[in-house]
Chains A and B, each alone.
Chain A
Amino acid sequence: MTPPVDDRTQLLDALWACQKRHGYIRDEDVASLADALAVSKIEIEGVVSFYHFLHRQPTGDFTVYLDNSIVSECKGFARVKQAFEHATGSAFGRTPVSRRFGLFETACIGLSDQQPAALINFYPFTNLNTLKVKQIVAALERGEPASSLCDEVANNIRFAPGGGKAIFLRDYEPGRAVRKLVGQDPQAIIDEVGRAQVRGMGGAFFPTAIKWASCRQVANSPKYVVCNADEGEPGTFKDRVLLNKYPGLVLEGMIIAAYAVGASAGIVYLRAEYQWLKHKVEAAITDLRRRKLLGTAIAGIAGFDFDIRIQLGAGAYVCGEETALLNSLEGKRGEPRTKYFYPTEKGFLDQPTVVNNVETCCAVARVLELGADHFLRTGTTKSPGTKLLSISGDCRKPGIYEVEWGTSIHEVLALCGANAPHYIQVSGPSGECVSLREADRRLALDDLRCGGSFMIFDHTRDILGILRNFTEFFKHESCGVCTPCRAGNFLVQRKLTMIGSRLARASDFSDLHNWGKVIGATSRCGLGVSATNSLRLAIERFPEYFKSRIIPDDNVTHFDLEAAVKAHEEFR
């Protein structure tokens, strides 16, 4: 039975229901959904094929999604992958013959502090090794459910600034923030958020108050508040911890946003990788409703009606881009929209919409709770407040760190016990890489911006290997709509694969640098714009490494004749 749908916004949920019930989406599901929504079947196929957790082929009783991000790669991805294949008799990426175990690789699942990690039937399994994989597979075969076998995911909260300066990582009491709305004018709320200089913590750092103000002044209603919990940037997991530890705080931030802009409905867009957290968010919603902080006349404010629901994503990094997220919410392919209209003008269902990241929601809730002055007392003058870092890679204490803006790279490295760091990736693959030469730089808006991901690599990690992993990721996660991102990332990936870890001509690296510039300048959304950042910066910031990879230019390219004739040699 295909679940009934009334409108397009329910499509993703319906597809999820089919996927879970049958292990894949059957032809009859596609047909009946197309029928119910009065669209062509190909439109449904287009949606299904966009998201990598939705399948049109059976995926088996147990679906294993093994994280193939760079941190996982460093911590033993290859061994664990092999262990899964040996233990289950299935091969990665293929429809399982036995219909028991379907093995798939997936991009970062937000568990970089406990890699290698996998999702089995979407329950988290962390710190995997060969032995553990064997035991898990055997237990599943015995009929033990994944829900009881899975690991308790540690929050790994490691550091918060002392002296009561912490903003995020401090105690939370439901309603403390929202009750401050009583008797306040919405504009006053926006002004206070503006005074605290809260910016979008997802990585774009757009001033939240400006976003809210522009949504507030649009006359159309209903308006929507969307919480972007599609934390897909490899290496980041701060939103996971916030949703796990402070789900109520996140929701309170949404309620405050709704009050400020005049919205009546809120949606948490939760990435599919975090569906094991869904019940926590649901419980928090129920709790707030019980406390009359959600629903009608919130906190006793007459006429302030607002409620929140959760929308589960289905596997697509690009849906973290706010306009792609809106398309996804509408049950469409998660292709970013053009910037012809801003979401605050035409967002969800073409209505004014505010999209805020999980951390931003928490920040605004704390602004009300602690006051803007508290923010202004921390951090630097130009970037007041604190930032949550998700630290992973080659360090003794991976986990969540709340640091004041203005903290230097050196200080962060010392805090987390980094062992002989060499290459540091700030803000994930789409961010920038930093060498120890830049370690005096500070995390600040006017210096080094950090969206949250902070990955540390020591001397034993090959830089080209890291960059190949990133390029592979972007090639796979590009939405495919604009030429430079779709074709360009593929071209870069081909070239990096061709170079491999061998020597290359100087022109190969200058080509990559130039192509990267073009892709960055011409792409349609942030994904393409930033996809080649790390590659370009690595070439600039690790000159010794790249110099050591260069062979003298004799006008002959590095051509591997032996490899090229191998296919023919097989006929010997």
Chain B
Amino acid sequence: MTEEVTLTIDGREIRATPGDNLVKVARAHDINIPSLCYFEHLDQPLGTCRVCMCNVDGRIVPACMQRVHAGMEVAFETPKLSDMRHAVLEMMFAEGNHVCPACPKSGDCDLQRLGYEMEVRTVRFPHLFKDRYIDLNAKRTVVDTNRCVKCARCVEEVRTDDGKQVYSFCNRGNETVVAIDYEQEARLTDAQARKAMRVCPTGAIIVRGEPSWTRPFGDRRYDLHPIRGPETLVRRKKTKATPNKRDKKTVATISLAGCYGCHMSMLDTDLGLIDRVDIIEFNKSPLNDIKEFTKRCDLGIIEGGVCNSDNVEVLKEFRRQCDVLVCIGECAVWGGVPALRNTIPLRECLEETYLHCESVEPGQGVVPFDDDLPKLLDRVYACNEIVKIDHYIPGCPPNADIIWKSVANILWDEDNSILYSDFKYD
């Protein structure tokens, strides 16, 4: 047994065996350095996801590449490092096409868990909406490249009995995908196929015919074993744009390319709404059916993304008329469900819907177009791609309590701490 050494993580002294991996050592002491590619048993770590960035002895490095030594000084929780880790995680959300409600790994997904744990409300990058494919040709597993974060875990870990690789990276740059060897894949045992799904930190590898993976909300892996205690608080940071005085405020709301679900959620406070009428005056809003702005507003609440020329005009009008704009719901934040069309050219979407769809009689279809109707945009845009947005409240829909708490926080600087267990928006 080697003599233990002392290192410090954020000033805290920790004893560990020299040569051990920093991620492992930190986790053993309840310091959760996030990672999507780290495996304890790999002596040469993959080092692909880059979410575990730390400052070790003055250098910014991934923690998974560090072996602990005596006197090692690690900084982990600093604003700069935290922002860096956030940025890398956000890149993954922007790069792939991640739709948690449609994913069987939701609740079992490491990427999603990290999103919650690191309190990602929105992504600073515009989503790329690259057209990626789902490979349905293999016998035992389905690979959905939309969800893949290219961590290389399956490439390294999943092998047939005679040691042949089943998955391999193909292409390079942003065209890199995990491709399947159909022949070898068919030879996987049940246990090996399940392992493939388990090592995948997202829902990119799904075993066919394994319904046991889909469990109801509350019973999923990270519902039952959250990394953070459910009672910890998630706080919203105050921003400079926040007006401070406590008096009656004027609020406008709108639903663009959304389903009005977020508006329904706003109404879902029952009697609470009556209390709010005393302190909030609604201007233009579907809640009171005021169609045009009659005065300048303190706050504009936007539901839905931007899918047509009318949405663009309305959103710009909101920006002009409101001091602060807040996006509520996934569609406003990044495009959401309507943005699922973004990987397909508009022409194909319209032709499929109006010309080639089974319900259309052959030769009878016509793609609607009228100068009086709003024009569809080539894709659905997030609100922040059109105007500056000040705050984001994610969720599908966000629950009423969270919406009003956040609004009160923005308008009157009230405390907006919510339980981590409530901070889930899949």
A residues with a Cβ closer than 8 A to B are: 38-43, 45-46, 49-50, 316, 318, 333, 335, 338-341, 475-484, 486-491, 494-495, 511, 515, 518, 521-524, 555-557, 559, 561, 563-572
Contact = CB atoms under 8 A, between A and B. Distances in A.
B171 interface: yes
Given A491-B95, A515-B125, 16 more contacts: A42-B167, A42-B181, A46-B170, A46-B179, A318-B172, A338-B65, A339-B65, A340-B44, A341-B44, A483-B50, A483-B51, A559-B381, A564-B377, A565-B377, A568-B346, A568-B378
Contacts of B377: 564-565, 568
B284 interface: no
B96 to A, nearest CB: 9
Contacts of B369: 568, 571-572
Interface string B135-165: 0000000000000011010000000101011
A559 B383 CA distance: 11
Given A40-B166, A559-B312, A515 B87 contact: yes
A555 B319 contact: yes
A483 B88 contact: yes
Contacts of B152: 481
Contacts of B160: 40
Interface in B44-103: 44-51, 53, 60, 62, 65, 84, 87-88, 91-92, 94-95
19 contacts: A42-B181, A49-B172, A50-B169, A478-B174, A481-B176, A486-B174, A487-B95, A491-B94, A491-B95, A515-B87, A522-B62, A522-B84, A559-B312, A559-B381, A564-B377, A564-B379, A567-B345, A567-B378, A568-B375
B292 interface: no
B91 A483 contact: yes
B165 A524 contact: no
A246 to B, nearest CB: 33
A475 B387 contact: no
A39 B91 contact: no
Contacts of A476: 173
Nearest to B366: A571
B234 interface: no
Nearest to A478: B173
A483 B92 contact: yes
A522 B347 CA distance: 39
Q: Looking at B95, B125, B378, which has the most chain A CB atoms within 10 Å of its CB? A: B125
Contacts, number: 196
A155 B387 CA distance: 54
B53 A522 contact: yes
Given A50-B172, A484-B88, A523 B183 contact: no
Interface in B220-274: none
B13 interface: no
B174 A475 contact: yes
A340 B376 CA distance: 51
B88 to A, nearest CB: 5
A49 B177 CA distance: 11
Nearest to B87: A518
B126 interface: yes
Contacts of B44: 338, 340-341
Classify chain B: how many residues form its interface, as a range: 35 or more
A40 B183 contact: yes
Contacts of A569: 375
Given A50-B172, A488-B91, A555-B388, A41 B181 contact: yes
Q: Looking at A316, A318, A488, A511, which has the most chain B CB atoms within 10 Å of its CB? A: A488
Contact of B367 (A46, A335, A524, A571): A571
Given A486-B174, A522-B50, A522-B88, A557 B126 contact: no
Contacts of B381: 559, 564
A70 to B, nearest CB: 18
B94 A480 contact: no
Given A481-B150, A569-B375, A571-B369, A487 B350 contact: no
A478 B48 CA distance: 13
Contact of A484 (B91, B319, B347): B91
B156 to A, nearest CB: 12
B379 to A, nearest CB: 8
Contacts of A484: 50, 87-88, 91
B114 interface: no
A567 B380 CA distance: 13
Contact of A524 (B50, B87, B173, B388): B50
B57 to A, nearest CB: 15
Interface string B206-222: 00000000000000000
Contacts of A45: 168, 170, 179
B37 to A, nearest CB: 9
B184 interface: yes
B143 to A, nearest CB: 11
A454 B350 CA distance: 50
Q: List 8 A-B pairs, minimum CB-CB distance, nearest first.
A: A480-B176, A42-B181, A46-B168, A487-B95, A565-B375, A555-B388, A567-B346, A40-B181
Nearest to B47: A338
A201 to B, nearest CB: 25
Contacts of A523: 50
A491 B91 CA distance: 8
A570 B369 CA distance: 9
A570 B347 contact: yes
Contacts of B176: 479-481, 486
Given A518-B84, A518-B87, A522-B88, A480 B169 contact: yes
B128 interface: yes
B29 interface: no
A8 to B, nearest CB: 13
B180 interface: yes
A486 B50 contact: no
Contacts of B51: 483
A487 B92 contact: yes
B386 A480 contact: no
Contacts of A46: 168-170, 179
A568 B388 CA distance: 26
Contacts of B46: 338
A333 B169 contact: yes
A338 B50 contact: no
Contacts of B343: none
B172 A556 contact: no
A487 B179 contact: no
B415 interface: no
Contacts of A481: 48, 150, 152, 169, 176
A314 to B, nearest CB: 12
A565 B184 contact: no
A556 B181 CA distance: 48
Nearest to A335: B169
A494 B128 contact: yes
Nearest to B80: A521
A559 B379 CA distance: 13
B175 interface: yes
B174 A42 contact: no
A341 B171 CA distance: 26
A39 B377 CA distance: 47
Contact of A521 (B84, B95, B166, B379): B84
B189 interface: no
Nearest to A507: B388
A521 B316 CA distance: 36
Nearest to A42: B181
Interface in B271-328: 309, 312, 316, 319
Nearest to B83: A518
Contacts of B386: 556-557, 559
B50 A487 contact: no
B309 A565 contact: yes
B385 interface: yes
Nearest to A340: B44
Nearest to B179: A42
A312 B164 CA distance: 27
Contacts of A480: 150, 169, 171-176
Contacts of B91: 483-484, 487-488, 491
